[in-house]
Amino acid sequence: MKALPVLRRSLLVGLMLGLSGGAAFAQTKKVTISQAFQSMLYLPLYVGMANGSFTKQGLDVTKETAGAPSAALAAVISGSANFSLHGPEWTAIAASKGAPVQIVSNCVNGAAVWIATTPDFKFTSIKDLKGETIVTGQMPTTSTSLFMKLFKENGLDPEKDVKMVQVPLGTEIGAFMAGQGKVAVMYEPGLDQAVAKGMKVVLGFPKLYGPYAFSTITSRTDNDPDTVQRFVNGMESALRSIHSDPAGAVAVAKKEFPTLDPVVIEQAVKRMIDDKVYPLNSDITPAALKVSMDTQIALGNLAAQPVYEKFINTTYIKKAVAMK
């Protein structure tokens, strides 16, 4: 008979933990996130799914690949996905047109684009590229957008002062190594694939621009608050894990990209950690959002800066960052 009070107390404690959002949850929730692409930039998401960051929050996360940022965002707007992962400019454009969407977490907080050249190319400033042929991704893409913006900021005309060879995203290294240009504007892991073949990195946009909201998590504004909080908590834990356990992050990347050279993966992840492309936490500062949106405004993709307080739901972020 004495076992009954003990059992009741155990059940009560478990119920209280579930209700309070503690380590135990009364019910596991299934959620879907639609990512624009399978990308090494999105490693924080993959780490969170692999190391139990989301599971500990009572979430069973399914990842779907949409093939384009607009398609990933459309999945959230339609309700077929709970979250999407892509550049915040797509969410800003949709929100400006009345779509019920918001940003709830960071994922990539650096302008993850670099300029590489052949080993014999003499580079001292961006003006050295005048008259050159530049291999870059097809527009619209942030890499080419940033390159054009930087060119204009230095008094150069990207349409007249250089010849841009725009190729499908992910194929820049092929055109670069084939000699279609001595300069290439690249994302990872293409960048370190080029470095492994003897090319050199001459400029990094992460260090040039500092904190830059590059890829973020989008949710509908009417998404279940408890589900959103759990997901943001999971992203927070995953981001912390990347910096506390880089080797673990590399191991996840190798599983997600099994056809890539392991050395390239190691160097790419290290570069993005060192350049603070992967943020320390889920927070998105007003400054990071502004510099990101300024790029889109300069290119005519966005009419005006979104109102930070309405666009970024800091309620979830603050609670996640405060986690012990």
Q: So what's the pLDDT on residue 23? A: 47
Average pLDDT over residues 98-127: 97
Is the backbone of residue 198 left (phi > 0), alpha (psi -120 to 50) or beta? left
Domain boundary among 151, 174, 209: 209
Please check whether residues 181 and 151 belong to one and the same domain: yes
Give the lowest-confidence range in 16-30, 38-52, 229-243.
Answer: 16-30
Residues 144 and 138: beta-carbon distance below 8 Å: yes
Domain CATH code at residue 83: 3.40.190.10
Which range of residues forms the domain containing residue 101? 28-110+212-321
The answer on pLDDT for 11 being more than 70 is: no
pTM above 0.85, yes or no: yes
Mean of pLDDT values over 5-31 = 52
Sorted by sequence, the CB contacts under 8 Å of residue 198 that are 6+ apart come out as 119
Please tell me the predicted confidence (pLDDT) of residue 26: 61
| Segment 159-203, tens digit of pLDDT | 899 999 999 988 999 999 999 999 999 999 999 999 999 999 999
Residues 217 and 106 occupy one common structural domain: yes
Residue with tokens 């504007």: 185
| Token pair 């993966």: residue | 265
Mean pLDDT of 33-59: 97
Decide if 16 is inside a domain: no
The Cα 100–Cα 240 span in angstroms is 29
What is the domain count for the chain?
2
Alpha-carbon dihedral sign for residues 197, 86, 138, 153: negative
| 259 has pLDDT over 90 | yes
Quick check: 10 pLDDT over 50?
A: no
Indicate the helix (H) or strand (E) that contains 318. helix 314-321
Q: How far apart are CA 276 and CA 109, in angstroms?
A: 7
Range 45-64 average pLDDT: 98
Which residue, of 155, 174, 209, is where some domain finishes? 209
DSSP-assigned states of every residue in 182-248: SEEEE-TTHHHHHHHTT-EEEEEHHHHH-EEEEEEEEEETTS-HHHHHHHHHHHHHHHHHHHH-HHH
- Pairing relationship of beta strands 133-137 and 163-167 according to DSSP bridges: parallel
173 and 227 assigned to the same domain: no
